[in-house]
Structures are given as structure tokens and as C-alpha cells.
Structure 1
Amino acid sequence: MQTVAVTGITSGVGLRFAEMAVERGITVRALVRDPARADAKRLASMGITLERGDLDDRRALEAISRGASSFFHFAAHVGDRGEASEFVRVNVGGTRNALDAAKAGGVRRFVHLSSTAVYGRPDRGRVDESWPTRHTTVPYDDTKVDAERLAFARGAELGLEVTAVRPPIIYGPYDRNFMPRAVDSLRHHRFLLVGGGRAPLNVVWVDHVVDVALLASERPEARGEAFNVMDEVDARPPSVREVGTTIAEAVGAPPPRLSLPYSVAMGAAHVVERVTKLRDPNAVPPISPFVVKILTRDVIYDASKAQRLLGWKPKVRALDGLAREARSFAERERRA
């Protein structure tokens, strides 16, 4: 029976990975900061072995690595704000510690959950894995670049077979970011369309991310490679307006109507971000320059390499997947 080590098991990707791995008969050993948390207890009830610790705890990392054939590194500090030092500690330092622990534990394959943010968020183009990675001065983006570069370089030094998986916005049953924020903004008439919402919104269902990660741990063709993963491989992703309208219909919210030209939206975003930060440094502004940028980039991430090298096939189209997950989100709210 295959045994794997996992960090970030209580993240949206990690929780779904746990379910899918157990369904396949894979033995999972995972790092958790607090085994008493409800999601950790649920993981334990599924037969997953939990080791208490964080990414600075090399003993705990080595404990989950011993006897594992693959190490899935899903843990990361995410967001568009926060102390740069924390992004560096978790995303870069944590990756180094995970790599070293994987080597010490005798692991062969290391699957690193990266992000399409490593491309530097270009304004336009069809972006495949041959595009260079670059910094943007945004701490999350820059530390994901540094972490991925470290994974490949340090992995080569240690003799590990490293693969990077690069998703865009991820949605799914344990999504704590995109779907909750989208639904809330739609219900409160704050879902912003910049320039009419015509730009593509690159999204991916969490099951597709897990599928590619598992294939990356199994297929020899994945060694030393990076893979974009998207819902749409042979078609243009849905537009921001289409995504907003689909989610609104699924949860019974009004469709998005607030539309601003780019210059007006960006100016307003700078003001809102400054005012929000003055009132509460820890608050998340309803709109920011970072979000406006995401909503207006005419960029498509090409995921055909995963199809070609790994034999992966997406199971659902983006709008169908978003509608289903939005309905599930609304149902969970009603039951809560």
C-alpha cells in the first residue's frame, strides 16, 4: 500500500486530497498544528495519521516522511497582504524544511503546490509552463516564486524528484476564500465588473488540482516538470461577468451589475484600501488594486501540458463546476 506525507492537510486542497487519497487506498501521514481542531479530528477519523507540529518543526516533518514514497507540500501563507517576513518564513523556509525532511525520511518524489502567480501576473497572453517566473513585489507572489525555484534547486541537490503544480484560483467544498467572498459580494451588490467584466477568470476545481498532483507523484514524465492546471484546456475560460452571473443564479443572488472603467476602478481601489487600513490594519478591503488587476488581465493559463505528459483529463467545465459548488455552499449555509 502506498504511503504519502502531506503538509497543509487542513487547507482546501489538503482536505480534498485527504478524501480522494483515502478513497484510492493511499495511507496518509500529515502535519497539523492543532490535532484538537474539528477538521483535524475528522481527518483522524478517516484513518489519517496526524503529527503535531508546524513547518519549523523538522522532527515532526521527518516523522511524517519516514517510509513515504511521495511528499505533497500544500502548506502556504496566502493572501495579498500581511507581513513579508511571515510569507518568507512559511512559503520559503517551510519549503526548505519540507525538502530536507523528505530527503531524511527516504522520500523519492516531492510534489510542490505552486501557483500561476509565479508568472508575475502578466497583463495578456496565453501562458504555458515555458514562460519565465518573475517577482512582482507582492509578498505572496514573490515567495511562491522563491519557493518553487528552491524546490527544484534544493531538490536536485538532495536527489529528490520534484514536480510543481501551478493552479490559478481554486474553488471547491472547503474553499474559504473565493466562493465565500464572491457570494457575499453578490448578495451585497459589491461584485465589481471592471470594463464590463469581459476579461477571462482563470479558475480550477480542487479535484482537478488533486488529480494532477497524484499523477505527478506517479508518472516518471513528471520529474523536474511544472504543470498548469485549469478547468478549461481546450476553450477560453469564462469571463468575470459569466462567473459572477453563474454563481448568482446558483445561490439566488442578484446578478452583477456594478461596472466601472479600469481607471476609475483602480483609483477607487487605492482609496478604499488606504481607508480600510487606517480603520483596521487587519481588515480585508472590499476592493484593492490587487483585485482590480486580477479582474482585468486578458490572460489564459494553458494546461495542455498536463494532458499531454500525464494523460490528465478535466472532469468538469468551469461554469458547471462553479454552479455546483455555489449550490453546495448555499446548502451548507442553510444547514449551519
Structure 2
Amino acid sequence: MLFICFLLQLYCVSAQTQCNSNFYSIPTARGAGFPGGWALITSNSATAYCKRKGFSVAGAIRTRAVSSLAGKGKVAVNVATNKTCTSGLCMALVGVECVRAGAKRCTADSNGNLGRGNIGKDNFGTKNRGRGNIGHENIGALCSGSRNRGDSLTGYNLQGYKKIGTSLSSLNSAILIGKPPAPVLPPLKSPPPPPKRVAPPPPDTGSEDFPPSPDSCPPPDDSTCPPCDCDLDIYDPNAPPSPSPPPAPPFDDTDDGDDGSELPSSCTNPCFKYDPENKTCSKSVCDDNCQDCFLSGTQTACIEIFGLARFNTEAACKANTNCNPPGKCFQCKDKKWACVESFK
């Protein structure tokens, strides 16, 4: 009887996760004509990319702007035409579902997960645990790539908070592509005149008037965010001291959520909070700089961000050599200080 129940349970699980597509995260094209030898894939050439991988058509896709996905200086290429888009605002593929000939596209489950083996909400790919992950075997929230552990990571095997990896071109999601053709120039009516002779430039004194780099510009003062819509107590630094709440439990991917224990504040209504790293207001569901919304068992809760080192004082935090960047510390709601560890 137990064996029959086991078979029925196995059948139900397989029926719910029936999906024969392949999922690729951060697909790229390798070629000598691209900066650094590789480029992202434009969002409008998803089917051409899947055909290059041996599939029939593209199914669901996830996209982001090139600048937010790979940083400055990167480009995206249309696989169908070999034309490149050099603007950082070009939309590139973060994830793509490639469908085999004769097969159907996968459908999302009741929690918005699309793919196979995902646990949590709104995941795309395979074996992700958490919320809004794109790729494979990510644990956390809003990660893109594979095997990341944390929050808002883009790349592979990263840990921590808001990082972009650099090794995106040597994975099985990459395809080989020839050098993009040079732009066709209109024929000249007459040969151009020879260049005028000019005096040699003066020796470099290091005083050339270049525009200031973005790093030298002072960040905007966005420390005042719109009010948070979460059903949470907003931390007021001017309020009288109160007993520190117990630390939030660590993320436990083995928790089945059935032990009846009370979880931290539920993550339901999005709000805006101050992001001390980028000095902007970012969308979140937790008002604590040291927490974000993760899956805990079968529910979501505001729990500690992965990769944080915590200290009792700001001075102790800034003195820690493992902070990345060094000296970049921010205060938690329990009035302790934290930084992102480097994980070297």
C-alpha cells in the first residue's frame, strides 16, 4: 500500500513539472569582433539563438538592459543578422527557453515558476530556490546565472549582494559567431585630400582636460525614500533606544515549513528602501538594510541577506579587511553594522 502511495505521489509531481525545454541563462556569442571577444544576445533574436543551439523555436524569455547585465563597454548582437547594438540601453537575453521540434512550450506553475525543480516564486530555469531567480541552482532572490547564493547577483558561483561577475563567455550557453561585418560606407566622389602636416604634440604632462569620470562625481542625496508600504515597523534613528530584536533566522533550504514556528515578517507588499551601496532608493519588501525577502519553507519572509559580516560598532565594521568594498558599511535595523564579505 505504501509503495502504491509513493508511485501516486511520484506521478503527481512529474505531472506538475512536465517540461521538456532547455533553459539557458545569460546566453552569449563569442567572436573576435566583439569587445573582450564576446557579446550578449539581443532579445529580438531569441529564436535565432535557439536554432543555433539545435532547437526549433524560443519559448519564454527574460531580458535586461546590457549595462545592468554586463557593465559598461559591452554590446549585444542580433544572432539572425550579426548586427550589434552598442548602447547600454539595448535589451539582451538573461534567460531563454529553447523548445524542441514538435514539443510544447513549458507553462508556469501556480507560483509563477517556469522550468523544472524550482522551489519558491517566479523563478525561471531549473532547480532554483527563492524568488525571481533566472538560471540554474540559484539560492536567494533576483539572481541571474547559475549556482549563485545571495541577492541580486549576476553571473556564476557568486555569493553576497548586488555583484556582477566577469566570466560570462565560456559557458555552454555561448555560441560561436563570426566577426560582425564592417558597416558599408558610401563611395567617395573624389579621393580625400592628403592630411595637413601638423606640429608634433607636446609631451604629456598629465594635465589634459578630460571630463570627470563617473566615480569622481558626488552621488546624489537620495537618503530620503518614499514611505514604505510594508506592514513593518520603520527604523527611526532618532527614536529612543529599544531592546534589540532577536536576529532573523538564516536561510535554510531544507526547511519544509511544517514545524509551526513563527516566521519573520511576511513579504507581501513591495516598498522602497534606501540602498546604501548605490545611494538610491530601491524596491524591496523589507525595511531593514540587512534583510531581503527570501523563501523560508513554503512561505516568504524578511531574513538576513547572504554574505553579510555583522559588527557591534561602525568602527569595527570599517576596520574589517574582508569587507567588499573596503570600509563600505551600513546599519541594520537592530542597530548593528554590516558589510558584504569578499568571499575570496
TM-score normalized by the length of structure 1: 0.24
> Which structure features the higher share of helix residues?
1
**Rg larger for:** 2
TM-score normalized by the length of structure 2: 0.24
